[in-house]
Structure 1
Amino acid sequence: MTAKPSPTLHQQILGDIETRIVSGEWPPGFRLPFEVELAKSYNVSRMTVNKVLTQLASAGLIERRKKSGSFVAQPQVQSAVLELHDIEAEVRSLNRDYRFAVLSQRLRRASDEDLTGLALGENTTLLEIECVHFAADAPFCHEYRLINLDVVPKAREADFAGTAPGKWLRMEVPWSAAEHRIRAVSADKQMAGTLSLSRHAACLVVERRTWHDGKAVTFVRFTYPGEQHALIARFTPASA
């Protein structure tokens, strides 16, 4: 059995700070120690600390304020209330039969856009997958997903013809932080054909990034027919 590689100092610091934030030990508004203090505490260079803080800011966990320092970010409403739903469970809750189909699956090197968006290391290998989820015979949503094989090497040999990628990942890799972005788009020719829509029909897009111990696990983009879907969240007033 191959020994699991030890985490780098960067990963250790990132995972430590992320855990403090996610657990609530460092609540929203908490000012993080200054770079020089963190560098001294972890016995690393300020450059290493700066890279960690930049990655945390990209993930939306902290806000960096010029001359003031870094602060734990206030959670956005959508990222606070949205959960990582199981599409199969969602379809079956509508009393409709569920199935999915893999449209494409390939290995590729991370692009410059991937390196920035997921804060990946150079030469990272990604598994790129496209699927369509169906409710009965109607397309329910299109899924485009990238999986970081440096973090989830088992995905290279996984059988996604039998288990949807999202469900497989939830069983294999716990996530410690997630980010959602929601937007509306018009269906282009290819998406219109995939979802059986008219050209330029409104679509709801949910993009999600997840991390485990400070390392990017996956990026996924779900595209839903806009007229058939809505995001509903129930929440209570925040305490003063």
Structure 2
Amino acid sequence: MQQYRCSRMTVNKALTQLARAGVIERHRKVGSFVSTPQSQSAVLSIQDIKNEVVALGLPYRFEVVERRKRRSTRDDRALLHADEVVPVLELTCRHFAKDQPFCDEYRLINLQAVADAASEDFSAISPGAWLLRQVPWAVAEHRIRASGSTPEVSARLKIKVGTPCLIVERTTRTVASPITFVRLTYPGALHELVATFTTLSSETP
């Protein structure tokens, strides 16, 4: 009141609004205290690549370049975070925006967790979209980095070797077992990553 030369009622209203906003905590007969800062996290949803292309106003299509069923290697298990040898379906796909390659997809599917994937030819629907419809996932881990394109990826994306690319790696799993690992490579000039930030509270269910 003395510092801002205002009435007690005005100060009380200001403190009430700060409490409603979560900036301070008010305790009767004790006082008002600055609240413990709440953490913020980047929330990344799992998107169907088709929706990304359609949002650009361009026609979408995809193709399966390679498909192979085999037993998982040590490297596969590291990517899937699998504790044991499992049968996997290895897929390489290419997604297009109109006539231009938009994204290169390398994917491992744990056939022990998703047995139906072994008989799916993915001619009408991409593996990612199929998995989103078929398998409920509980945990997803994203890793995002920038790197120059490898010769193999460059050939599929029709870009020069070493072109800057955005690489999104994601592992999804149920509570009990891993579902899939995917590496999505986008030419850097054609893609941007947008994350929504939200305030998380321990009181949030």
SS at match of 2:159: coil
> Are residues 125 and 239 of structure 1, via their aligned partners in 2, closer, same or farther at CA, if it must alter by over 3 Å?
closer
Counterpart residue identity of residue 189, structure 1? P
1:168 paired residue number: 130
The structure number with the bigger radius of gyration is 2
Q: Does structure 1 residue 208 correspond to structure 2 residue 178?
A: no
CA distance in 1, matches of 2:69, 2:98: 31
CA distance in 1, matches of 2:175, 2:166: 30
2:31 paired residue number: none
**Where in structure 2 are the equivalents of 1:80-229 lying within 5 Å?**
80-229=42-191
CA distance in 1, matches of 2:40, 2:107: 23
- Tell me how far 1:236 sits from its aligned partner: 3.9
Q: Alignment identity in percent?
A: 46
- Tell me how far 1:120 sits from its aligned partner: 2.2
More helix by share: 1
- CA displacement, residues 139-180 of structure 1 (integer Å, 9 cap, x when unaligned): 010000000000000001012111100111111101111000
CA distance in 2, matches of 1:115, 1:199: 28
CA distance in 2, matches of 1:234, 1:162: 31
> Are residues 104 and 239 of structure 1, via their aligned partners in 2, closer, same or farther at CA, if it must alter by over 3 Å?
same
CA distance in 1, matches of 2:151, 2:40: 33
2:16 paired residue number: none
CA distance in 1, matches of 2:200, 2:132: 29
TM-score, normalised relative to structure 2:
0.75
- Tell me how far 1:237 sits from its aligned partner: 4.5
SS at match of 2:103: strand
CA distance in 2, matches of 1:103, 1:218: 18
- Tell me how far 1:239 sits from its aligned partner: 5.3
Counterpart residue identity of residue 212, structure 1? T
SS at match of 2:122: coil
TM-score, normalised relative to structure 1:
0.65
CA distance in 2, matches of 1:98, 1:206: 20
CA distance in 1, matches of 2:69, 2:139: 25
RMSD (Å) for aligned C-alpha atoms? 2.0
1:17 paired residue number: none
SS at match of 2:53: helix
CA distance in 1, matches of 2:198, 2:74: 40
In structure 2, runs of 5+ residues without a counterpart are: 1-38
2:13 paired residue number: none
SS at match of 1:127: strand
Equivalenced residue count is 165
CA distance in 2, matches of 1:121, 1:236: 33
